[in-house]
Amino acid sequence: MPPPGSIRRDLRLSLGDAVGYGLMAGVAEVYLPAFALARGMRPVLAGLVATAPLLAAGALQLLAPRAIARAQSLRGWVAGCMVAQAVAFVPLIVVALVGGPVIPLVFGAAALYWSAGMAASAGWNPWMTRVVPARIRGRFFGRRQGVLQAAMLVGLLGAGVALQGFADAHRVAHVYAAMFAIAMVARLGSALMIMRQGDGLDRAPQRRTRLRSIPPRLRGTPRAGILGYLIASLAATAISGPFLTPYLLHHEGLGYAGYSVFTAAIVVAKIAALPVLGRLIQRVGVRPVLTACALAIAPIPLLFLVSGQLPWLIATQVFAGVVWAGFELGMLMVLFEAQDDSERTTMQVAFTALQAIGTAAASLLGGALIVALGGGRTAYEWVFVASTIARVAAVTLLIRELPGIFARLPVLVVQRAWTVALRPWGGTIVRPIVDGLERLGVTRRDRR
C-alpha cells in the first residue's frame, strides 16, 4: 500500500483531473448542439450530435479490454486516450473559423470525442481503484464530483457570457473556436495529471476477462438488476434529452444568457447535493439512494412542459440536479464493484458499450418521432412524454414490485383517506370495500 503522503498527492492530482474534465465539458461538450445549430444544422440533427456518434464509439469500445491487456501501462492508456479526445476539438475549431462540410466534420469530431472518452473510462475506473483506497471512496468521489461540477459551472457560465456578448454570426464563430481551444487545453491538462499519479502502482492487468464471461457472473446477482436499470434508464433519457437544447433555443426562444443560467442551475444543484449524497451512500449503501433517485428522475421531462418561463425551468433544473447527482454517483460506485482490475475493465467496457448503443438508438428513435410528427413544438412534447413512460418502465428493473405498487395505488389512496378523513362518518361504506379487496389479495394487511 502506498504511504499516506503519496495517497494525498494522488488524490489532489485526481481533483486536478476532475477540474480539467469539468472545464472541458462545461465550455465545449454542453454547447456542442448549440454550435451545430449556429452553423446551420437543423434542430433534430443538432440534437443528435450529442448521441448518434455513440454508435461508433460503443462498437469501438468492445476492443478496449484486449487493447488494455496488451498495453504496457494502464496509466499511459488512460492519458493517451485523453490526448486523443483533446485532438477531437481540432476539426471543430476548423469548422468554426474556416467552415467546410459541417455535418461530416462535426459528427466525425463527436465520434472521436466519445470514442476516446469511453476508451479512457475503460482504464480510468480500474486505475482509480489503485489510487483511491476503498475505505474513503464514497466520500472522496462525492467531493471529486463536486469539484468537477464546479469546474463545469465556471466553463459553461464563462462560455455563455462570451456567446451572449458577441451575438453576431461572425464573432460567435470566433467565440466557439476559443471555447474549443480552451477545452482542448483543459483535457490535455487532465492527461498530465493522470501521468503524475500512482508512483509504483502502474502495471498492466495480469489477465483479460472476456466479455462473454460477464453475463454468467452477473446472472442472479443484485448487480444484474442495477446495471440493467442503469442502461435502460440512460437509454430512456436519450429519447428526449438530446432534443432539450434545440427545443429551448429554437421553440422557446431562450437566448444564450438564459440557456447558460438554465444549464448552470443543474450544476449548482449537483455541487450542493454531492457531498451529502456521498456521505449518505457511505452510510446506507448505493441501492437505497439509487432507488430514490430512479423514482425521482422519471417525471422530469413532463416538468419542462408545465411552463417555458425561465424561473420554472431553473426550478426544474435544481430538482433534476439533485436527483441526477445521486444517480451519477451511484452509477460510479456500482461500476467499481468487481473482483479485480481485469473484471472491472471488462465490466466498464460492456456497460459503456451497451449504454452508448442504447443511448444512440433511443435518440434516433426520438429524432424519428419528432420528424414523423412534423417537427413542431407538439412533436417535442410527445417525445418528452415518451421518455417519461420509458423511464418508468426502466425503474421496474430496479424495483421489481413497481407494477404491483401501481396496481394497488388507488386502493391504498382510498385506504389512507378512510384512515385520515373518512372514518368518522364513512366507515360503514368504505371499510367493507377495503376489507373485501384485502381478502382478494389486492392490498396487504401487514405493515412490514
Listing DSSP states for 76-117 in one string gives: HHHHHHHHHHHHTHHHHHHHHHT---HHHHHHHHHHHHHHHH
Q: Write the DSSP symbol of residue 337.
A: -
Same domain, 125 and 149: yes
Tell me, yes or no, if the pTM score tops 0.85: no
Would you place residue 250 in the very low, low, confident or very high pLDDT band (cuts 50, 70, 90)?
A: confident
Same domain, 244 and 302: yes
Buried b (16+ CB within 10 A) or exposed e, 114-148: bbbbbbbbbbbbbbbbbbbeeeebbebbbbbbbbb
Alpha helices, DSSP H only, in 240-340? 244-246, 256-284, 286-297, 300-303, 310-335
Domain-ending residue, one of 369, 384, 400:
400
Same domain, 265 and 378: yes
Average pLDDT, integer, range 60-89: 86
Provide the pLDDT for residue 251: 79
Same domain, 158 and 218: yes
Provide the pLDDT for residue 180: 96
Same domain, 158 and 52: yes
Amino acid at the residue 126: P
* The total number of residues written for the chain in this structure: 448
Dihedral (CA of 187, 355, 271, 75) sign: negative
Whether 390 shows a pLDDT value over 70: the answer reads yes
Sorted by sequence, the CB contacts under 8 Å of residue 257 that are 6+ apart come out as: 160, 161, 164
Picking from 25, 53, 62, 50, the residue whose alpha carbon sits closest to that of residue 352 is: 62
pLDDT tens for residues 189-242? 999 999 998 776 666 555 555 656 556 665 655 566 677 788 888 899 989 988
Whether 9 shows a pLDDT value over 50: the answer reads yes
Same domain, 255 and 152: yes
Average pLDDT, integer, range 76-94: 94
The 10 Å Cβ neighbour count of residue 348 is 24
Whether 408 shows a pLDDT value over 60: the answer reads no
Q: Cα–chain-centroid distance for residue 235?
A: 10
Provide the pLDDT for residue 18: 94
- How many domains does one find in the chain? 2
Same domain, 418 and 271: no
Q: Write the DSSP symbol of residue 165.
A: H
Domain with 356 in it: what CATH number?
1.20.1250.20
Same domain, 113 and 192: yes
Same domain, 72 and 110: yes
Same domain, 161 and 31: yes
Q: What range defines the domain where residue 306 resides?
A: 4-400
pLDDT tens for residues 124-160? 888 888 888 878 877 888 788 889 988 988 998 899 8
Whether 167 shows a pLDDT value over 70: the answer reads no
Is residue 83 within 8 Å of residue 119, measured between CB atoms?
A: no
Same domain, 307 and 251: yes
Cα separation of 371 and 44, whole Å?
8
Q: Cα–chain-centroid distance for residue 345?
A: 19
Residue written as cell 480510468?
A: 124
Amino acid at the residue 259: Y
Provide the pLDDT for residue 248: 86
Same domain, 386 and 429: no
